[in-house]
Amino acid sequence: MSNWRRWTSSAASFVWNASGAGNVVQGAKEVYDNSGTGGTWSGMAKGAGRMLLGGVTAYTLPQRGAYALGLKAVNWLASPTETTNRETAGPIVRGIGDRVRSQTISEQGRRLQYGHLSVDQYFTRHPDEFLKDYAVESIIQHPEHPGGQSRTRETFQFRTVPRYSTLPDMGPITDSRGVTRQPKGHLHLLMSSQTEGHRHTFGSTQVGNEFQAAFLPMLQARDDRLRPPRGRGPDLSEMTVPGFNQGRVRDTNLRQRAQTITVTTQLSGCSVTSQRRALLHIRPHESGQQLNQTLGTRNTFGRSDYGPGNTAFVMAKRGSNGRTTVHYQVHDQTTQRLRTGSKTVG
């Protein structure tokens, strides 16, 4: 796959002039049309070849080298050993779109790569991309009821959002690259044990399948500077954060259960922080800004990141390298817009 991406990247850099861009657009359409039900490998290969060779005639690259490069790419895509056609073609189309600065082509690539996934698969496998497409609010825990026991294996689901929720009023989603998209849907995240009440109260329906993740409860800080009664702080313990011992999601527990996903309730002044190889969600005593400063900005996603008066949906994903990344969606309460991004905290 790495060779294929190198070939694609090299070829795409030549696809810049008008006639080449036209070939790329047509090729992308052929790849997209043939990637679904009823499509053929030959159709995908033809589209990929058109994309990769587009613009060569108007560029000074030697024709022989360009066609050899395109032939390698086409043969790779048409190989009978390659079965994940969508996941193969998607990044190709996206890469071409990025090189020729066509958002239309890039979005075709995204649909190819992720469009076949259910909502829960999309969220757990590609949270950064998921949050670019869906407006999400976590209602796992009431914001005025801190405390609880962390669990490394809890069952969750997404449900439709009631009409009178604030989420349907939220507008476009802008990602970290400045690309703006309209939400495909507005969803609530909650535990499966909470769904009957949600359905009865709001008339909601489940979207996608149930999935398992670690649950990180919201804990309450006694003091935003986290000072123990007879110390100088900052200090994280049962004295400064009641529930500290049972409310953390530890790296060791995640490894033991082969769990990579951690979810928590919506942030509205709170901070999610990585401390002593464990995740914590802490609600401020008075000032979210002060709490964020005390915990440190490097290993914390907090009020300094999502801004005064705003809320944020967050989830944490532990990578194969042991690093933890927080994927977030900030809900700007003033502009009614959303923005997404990620931050490595541990």
pLDDT digits (tens, 9 = 90+) for 312-334: 999 999 999 999 999 999 999 99
CB atoms near residue 177 (< 10 Å): 10
pLDDT value for 102: 75
Q: Give the distance between the most distant pair of CA atoms in the chain.
A: 77
DSSP string for residues in 330-342: EEETTTTEEEEEE
pLDDT value for 127: 98
Element (H, E) at 245: helix 244-247
Cβ-based burial of 10 (10 A; exposed 0-12, middle 13-18, buried ≥19): middle
Say if CB 77 and CB 71 are below 8 A apart.
no
Question: How far is the C-alpha of 117 from the C-alpha of 208, rounded, in Å?
Answer: 9
- The token duo for 207 is 């979207």
* pTM for the structure as a whole: 0.79
Beta bridge partners of 340: 329
pLDDT value for 28: 62
Question: How far is the C-alpha of 57 from the C-alpha of 67, rounded, in Å?
Answer: 11
Say if CB 28 and CB 97 are below 8 A apart.
yes
Question: How far is the C-alpha of 185 from the C-alpha of 134, rounded, in Å?
Answer: 5
Say if CB 125 and CB 317 are below 8 A apart.
no
Q: Which residues of the chain have pLDDT under 50?
A: 1-2, 4-5, 7-9, 11-19, 55-83
Residue-wise burial string across 49-67, b where 16 or more C-beta atoms lie within 10 A, e elsewhere = bbbbbbbbeebebeeeebe
Token pair 């990344």 is found at 325
**Residue 336 — left, alpha, or beta (φ > 0 → left; ψ -120 to 50 → alpha)?**
left
Closest to 156 in 3D by CA, of 104, 206, 99: 206
pLDDT value for 105: 73
pLDDT value for 275: 93
- The token duo for 287 is 């000032």
Percentage above 70 pLDDT, the chain: 72
Say if CB 184 and CB 192 are below 8 A apart.
no
pLDDT value for 71: 43
pLDDT value for 12: 46
CB atoms near residue 160 (< 10 Å): 18
pLDDT value for 292: 96
**Coil, helix or strand for 208?**
strand
